Structure 1
Amino acid sequence: MSAHRGRRARGAAFAAAVPLMLVAACSSGAGSAGGEDGEIRMMVNLTDNLDQAYWEKLVKPFEDKTGLKVKIEGPTGKSVAESFPQQLAAGTAPDVIQSIFPDDDTAPELVDLSDEPWAKGTPMFDEYAMGDKHYAVGVGTQTQSLIYYNKSAFEKAGIAEPPTTWAELADGLAKLKQAGFTPLQTAGDFQTGLQLQQIYHPTLNQLHPEWQTSVADDKLTVGEAYEPAFQMYADWIDKGYITKSDVGLSPSQADGNFTAGKVGLYTNGSWFAATLNQVKDLPFEVGVFSPPAADGTSYPGPQGATMANPYMVHQGAADADGAKQLVEFLVTDPAAIEAQLGSDGVFRKDADREQTAVDSQIQAILNDAPELVAVGEGQGNVRLPVTGFNPKFTEVAQSLYTGASPADAAKAIDQWVDENR
């Protein structure tokens, strides 16, 4: 592991940092606040569709089978990411934690699941290893590198098949513009940088496998890795394939433009399928394909992905065995998996389940992906030597709308990494 990686907290784990000495003060030896006897506390992110009733229904078969009681708790702060480190510091951490990942500070507080036979076959188990330890297990994946397209727009523009190379994509964007469509829908907020990463994952991870590790080991810079993507993006802006004013749109407004039939292509993750599946009477048929790959590389390329519905077990759990049994149930029981798949764009490779037309296309892309690769700051052992990468990358990508050159963008992201590693 690179010496750079231990300097600060990593990954998508926590929005609020907790001093290491505070976390250490409530290590596994200090025990847990715990619940009543035979009760397992599980903290989850509660949403409009994944509400308290959903979670209680999900764990009910486990309770009936084991006689254990599961207490579903929402975050005490804004999110699980914020609440878990606060509760660790206070000595009130739950037994099972859903929706977040370990980092260098909190990993010592979690149970290593490496030797659990049931854990080894779960999605992206090895991709989320830290060193030789495995603290998180998940139900499925959220597939990041997808391009949704309007099949009617393609037909009107004379595009027979989804592009598989960058040259074919450029040709298709030109035809869509000529046909009167927004060729490629973009948006502001977090989505600007995210979309550029998503569409470039399959190429980047062939040109520079495990590129985050290469940056951490000083063998590559982020600017070197992404300058070709910045150049491509700047060309699309200059040619009008991307509408400059779209950088001022919210992601929900961009979603609406696509579902209204005004757009040819829209880069997004698997979670967008849930939005599409809720829209009644779409004015066109939606297609989905894996992004094109650069000349000299294979198609389809590696698929950017993240573990979905991850679970972790706190070492200080009052009933560690019961907590592990609960997590085993959530990620291996067929009915529990079925209940969690499809929610918020959660898919599982080779899953056999009834799906919508859009979902089935995403399932096929996931099944055919030659590899699932780390996105953004990275995950597990494949990580950048900085935190906060995605917001900065979005800022740099948005500078291309206001005249920054690809070289300027590459220099800016490298300067930020050097200052923050």
Structure 2
Amino acid sequence: MMSPHSKGRARGTALAAVVPLLLLAACSSGTASFDGEDGEIRMMVNLTDNLDQAYWEKLVAPFEEETGLKVRIEGPTGKSVAESFPQQLAAGTAPEVIQSIFPDEDTAPELVDLSGESWAKDTPMFDEYAMDGKHYAVGVGTQTQSLVYYNRTAFEKAGISEPPATWDELDDALAALKKAGYTPMQTAGDFQTGLQLQQLYHPALNQLRPEWQTAVSEEKVSVGELYEPAFERYADWIGEGYIAKSDVGLSPSQADGNFIAGKVGLYTNGSWFAATLNQAEDLPFEVGVFSPPAADGKSYPGPQGATMANPYMVRAGTGDEDGARQLVEYLVTDEKAVDAQLGSDGVFRKGADLEQSAVDAQIQSVLDDAPALVAVGEGQGDIRLPVTGFNPKFTEVAQSLYTGAGPADAAKAIDQWVDENR
């Protein structure tokens, strides 16, 4: 059976295949290197419209002033950091610090294990991203996945006094919203169909079967067995008209627009959607945010699906490995540096105390109240499914419920795919 890290191995191998293996061996043995100038630390980051070169240079400026070290900000040489880092490792040109990606079995031997660093232990999701007991990645915060945004005006008109905390309460809320003339629950096509169903079910699923991805990898349970109750409820919602069948043909941006226009009661999305709401002007309603229902008989709220956000890794054997460690420590523990990175692209951190929008403050509350943060989708670190490409396949299966497949058919289809792709 494929180990929990087989996904990482397959992905890393594919990325590294474009470069000669002899060069990779040379890099691993230390015979090739491309360190920066003395006193300079190279850091590769994903540059975006809002997180541009100037943003990163401003972020590291206090560190440079305090330590006397120079940080050279570099964008990826390929399409992304994920593509560029394995290529640069093989060529012996990899930087000292790598931002935005996670280790896999190919890259882990080239990275510093931060397990012994006292400052790293309290960073977000430190243990959740461990690989074989080692910690190669530390993050600034999390992207919270399992959030339900709702229209407070719609709730008031529908006579709903509190956000639903159980699945029966959610069913009742959807019925009331439909009767009040709203689209009860907004969804879309593309990746969003399957993602939303996973986001909604994460808290309950992880109460019923903690670390379920590992259980699937160890063949103790099947994905279909775990998700069939969710497929059954979702199919009922489609049948009742709580989710419009035509919504599966919408783009996620169109779905965003419907919610912002005030036509929708409930909209499942991640913390990144807060940025869209914060930029919208003159919303015709007040936005609320809550955690999805807990499993029947379990306490509310349940564990929150989340991913480590703004992760950093340190390459081993660099010219200034100690300086690189200091830089990463600064980025993930310095209060001002952390605050500067929070809020961008939906990044939040448990216990953070900074000025926030009304929506951001509610997300912060959901995050702070969550009893645990748990692996999502294919998983992370040692908690992984034994397959790659799970999320696109799950979306395909979820969308089949719109076209006549039953819940048992969906469960069978996802199990067959997992079995064929282990």
Fold match by TM threshold 0.5: yes
Task: Provide the C-alpha distance between the structure 1 equivalents of 2:381 and 2:318, rounded to a whole number of angstroms.
Answer: 23
Find 2:15's aligned residue among 3, 14, 17: 17
Task: Provide the C-alpha distance between the structure 2 equivalents of 1:10 and 1:236, rounded to a whole number of angstroms.
Answer: 39
Report whether the alignment pairs 1:361 with 2:359: no
Task: Provide the C-alpha distance between the structure 2 equivalents of 1:282 and 1:150, rounded to a whole number of angstroms.
Answer: 10
Task: Provide the C-alpha distance between the structure 2 equivalents of 1:238 and 1:316, rounded to a whole number of angstroms.
Answer: 59
1:292 corresponds to: 293
2:413 corresponds to: 412
Q: Is the 8 A contact 2:143 2:271 kept in 1?
A: yes
Distance 1:351 1:28, change over 3 A: farther
Aligned residues: 419
Q: Is the 8 A contact 2:4 2:382 kept in 1?
A: no
Q: Which SS does the other structure have where 1:183 is aligned?
A: strand
Q: Is the 8 A contact 2:126 2:138 kept in 1?
A: yes
2:239 corresponds to: 238
Distance 1:300 1:28, change over 3 A: farther
Q: CA deviation at 1:6?
A: 4.6
Listed one character per residue, the Cα deviations across residues 381-419 of structure 1 (whole Å, up to 9, x for unaligned) are 111111111111111111111111111111111111111
1:90 corresponds to: 91
Task: Provide the C-alpha distance between the structure 1 equivalents of 2:31 and 2:188, rounded to a whole number of angstroms.
Answer: 47
1:143 corresponds to: 144
1:252 corresponds to: 253
1:4 corresponds to: 3
| Pairing of 1:42-57 with structure 2 (within 5 A) | 42-57=43-58
| Pairing of 1:324-363 with structure 2 (within 5 A) | 324-363=325-364
Listed one character per residue, the Cα deviations across residues 42-64 of structure 1 (whole Å, up to 9, x for unaligned) are 11111111111100100011111
Letter of the 1:18 counterpart: A
Q: CA deviation at 1:4?
A: 2.5
| Pairing of 1:295-314 with structure 2 (within 5 A) | 295-314=296-315
Letter of the 1:253 counterpart: Q
Q: Which SS does the other structure have where 2:102 is aligned?
A: coil
Q: Which SS does the other structure have where 2:163 is aligned?
A: coil
Q: Is the 8 A contact 1:41 1:71 kept in 2?
A: yes
Letter of the 1:202 counterpart: P
Q: Which SS does the other structure have where 1:9 is aligned?
A: helix
Task: Provide the C-alpha distance between the structure 1 equivalents of 2:51 and 2:14, rounded to a whole number of angstroms.
Answer: 23
Q: CA deviation at 1:15?
A: 10
Letter of the 1:264 counterpart: G
Q: CA deviation at 1:21?
A: 4.7
2:206 corresponds to: 205
Q: Is the 8 A contact 1:10 1:386 kept in 2?
A: no
Between 1:411-420 and 1:259-268, the stretch displaced more is: 411-420
Letter of the 1:4 counterpart: S
Distance 1:252 1:28, change over 3 A: farther
Q: Which SS does the other structure have where 1:5 is aligned?
A: coil
Letter of the 1:353 counterpart: L
2:380 corresponds to: 379
Distance 1:269 1:14, change over 3 A: farther
Q: CA deviation at 1:25?
A: 4.3
Task: Provide the C-alpha distance between the structure 1 equivalents of 2:176 and 2:272, rounded to a whole number of angstroms.
Answer: 28
Q: Is the 8 A contact 1:10 1:104 kept in 2?
A: yes
- The unaligned stretches of length 5 or more in structure 2 are none
Letter of the 1:49 counterpart: N
Q: CA RMSD in A?
A: 1.7
Q: CA deviation at 1:31?
A: 4.6
Q: Is the 8 A contact 1:14 1:100 kept in 2?
A: no
Task: Provide the C-alpha distance between the structure 2 equivalents of 1:358 and 1:115, rounded to a whole number of angstroms.
Answer: 37
2:268 corresponds to: 267
Task: Provide the C-alpha distance between the structure 2 equivalents of 1:156 and 1:415, rounded to a whole number of angstroms.
Answer: 44
Q: Is the 8 A contact 1:15 1:81 kept in 2?
A: no
Q: CA deviation at 1:28?
A: 5.7
Distance 1:409 1:327, change over 3 A: same
Between 1:77-86 and 1:285-294, the stretch displaced more is: 77-86
Q: Is the 8 A contact 1:33 1:92 kept in 2?
A: yes
Q: CA deviation at 1:36?
A: 2.1
| Pairing of 1:98-177 with structure 2 (within 5 A) | 98-177=99-178
Report whether the alignment pairs 1:185 with 2:186: yes
Q: Normalization by structure 2: what TM-score?
A: 0.96
Q: Is the 8 A contact 1:16 1:85 kept in 2?
A: no
Distance 1:319 1:175, change over 3 A: same
Distance 1:284 1:90, change over 3 A: same
2:61 corresponds to: 60
Listed one character per residue, the Cα deviations across residues 290-335 of structure 1 (whole Å, up to 9, x for unaligned) are 0012311221001001111000011142211111111000001111
Task: Provide the C-alpha distance between the structure 1 equivalents of 2:2 and 2:116, rounded to a whole number of angstroms.
Answer: 27
Listed one character per residue, the Cα deviations across residues 101-147 of structure 1 (whole Å, up to 9, x for unaligned) are 11111111111000111111111111111111000000111111000
Q: Is the 8 A contact 2:140 2:332 kept in 1?
A: yes
Q: Normalization by structure 1: what TM-score?
A: 0.96
Task: Provide the C-alpha distance between the structure 2 equivalents of 1:123 and 1:279, rounded to a whole number of angstroms.
Answer: 29
Task: Provide the C-alpha distance between the structure 1 equivalents of 2:389 and 2:25, rounded to a whole number of angstroms.
Answer: 24
Task: Provide the C-alpha distance between the structure 2 equivalents of 1:15 and 1:140, rounded to a whole number of angstroms.
Answer: 28
Distance 1:68 1:139, change over 3 A: same
Letter of the 1:338 counterpart: D
Task: Provide the C-alpha distance between the structure 1 equivalents of 2:237 and 2:205, rounded to a whole number of angstroms.
Answer: 18
Task: Provide the C-alpha distance between the structure 1 equivalents of 2:58 and 2:29, rounded to a whole number of angstroms.
Answer: 30
Q: Is the 8 A contact 2:187 2:196 kept in 1?
A: yes
Distance 1:237 1:69, change over 3 A: same
Task: Provide the C-alpha distance between the structure 2 equivalents of 1:169 and 1:386, rounded to a whole number of angstroms.
Answer: 32
